[in-house]
Structure 1
Amino acid sequence: MIALIQRVRHASVSVAGEEIGRIGPGLLAFVGVQREDDEARGKRLLERVLTYRVFGDDAGRMNRSLRDTGGGLLLVSQFTLAADTRSGTRASFTPAAEPARAQALFDQFVTQARAAHADVACGRFGADMQVSLLNDGPVTFWLEA
């Protein structure tokens, strides 16, 4: 599994003009599921997302994690993260998991996140979503499990 995480001041996700998720300061995580992924990889990725040190300490160094700060976590499924872009001018999506399997793994990821962290919001799997954010830094990292 892949997560593209961004440290944000705030972020929200809407579907058909209706806001379905919003967080204040925290992390926006775009999550992609690949064919070989399973629940164990999802658990490892979630642990990395929650403990990756991207927030400043008293000295301004990135030494604090989302778990340390208690900030919000907005999860948005994004199959394009699993694209193969190594050649040509159009992505191949063969590395991405089949939609039903990807949805099941993403749903498990959200359930586990909500059990492990107090402030979790999410988008809607497979929907045409509009994501708004104010990136803080900017700070963006690509995580894999």
Structure 2
Amino acid sequence: MIGLLQRVSEARVRIAGEVVGEIGCGLLVLLCAERGDTDAEADRLLAKLLKLRIFPDADGKMNRSVQDVAGGLLVVSQFTLAADTAGGTRPGFSRAAPPAEGERLYDYFVARARTAHPVVQTGRFGADMQVHLVNDGPVTIPVTVRPA
């Protein structure tokens, strides 16, 4: 499972002009389930991103987590993170989980996030979304969790 984390001062997702998810300070999580991923990978990725110390402390050092700063999570599905660009100029997406399994894992991740963290907003799986964000720092960190 792949999570591309962006530390944001604000972020929102629009679908057909309507805002469907919005946060202030926190993490925009672009989420991709890959073939072979299970609930265990989703759980490990969530635990990692909730504790990852990428927010500044009083001295300006990245020493605080999204939980420490009471930031929000905006979780957006993005199968294109599984792109294979090794051959040619058109990416392949065979590493991405099939749509039904990707959606199940996305829904599972969001449900678990909502039990572990107070502010969780989302996009909509499979929708054509416009993601607006102000990347704070900028800080963008890829986190990959592979099946055990």
TM-score category, normalised to shorter length = over 0.9
- The structural deviation recorded for 1:66 is 0.6
- The structural deviation recorded for 1:83 is 1.2
Aligned length: 145
Residue aligning to 1:51: 51
Residue aligning to 1:76: 76
- The structural deviation recorded for 1:97 is 0.4
- Provide the secondary structure at the position in 2 that maps to 1:94: coil
Unaligned runs of 5+ in 1: none
- Provide the secondary structure at the position in 2 that maps to 1:95: coil
2:52 maps to a residue whose letter is: Y
Residue aligning to 1:7: 7
Residue aligning to 1:67: 67
- Provide the secondary structure at the position in 2 that maps to 1:103: helix
- The structural deviation recorded for 1:32 is 0.6
1:99 maps to a residue whose letter is: P
Residue aligning to 2:114: 114
Counterparts of 1:92 and 1:50, CA distance in 2 = 30
- The structural deviation recorded for 1:87 is 2.3
Aligned Cα root-mean-square deviation (Å):
0.6
- The structural deviation recorded for 1:36 is 1.2
**1:87 corresponds to 2:55:** no
Residue aligning to 2:102: 102
Residue aligning to 1:16: 16
1:31 maps to a residue whose letter is: L
Counterparts of 1:49 and 1:87, CA distance in 2 = 31
- Normalising by structure 2, we get a TM-score of 0.96
Counterparts of 2:144 and 2:66, CA distance in 1 = 17
- The structural deviation recorded for 1:52 is 0.8
State the percentage of identical aligned residues.
Answer: 55
Structure 1 segments (4+ residues) deviating >3 Å: none
Counterparts of 1:45 and 1:105, CA distance in 2 = 12
Unaligned runs of 5+ in 2: none
- The structural deviation recorded for 1:67 is 1.3
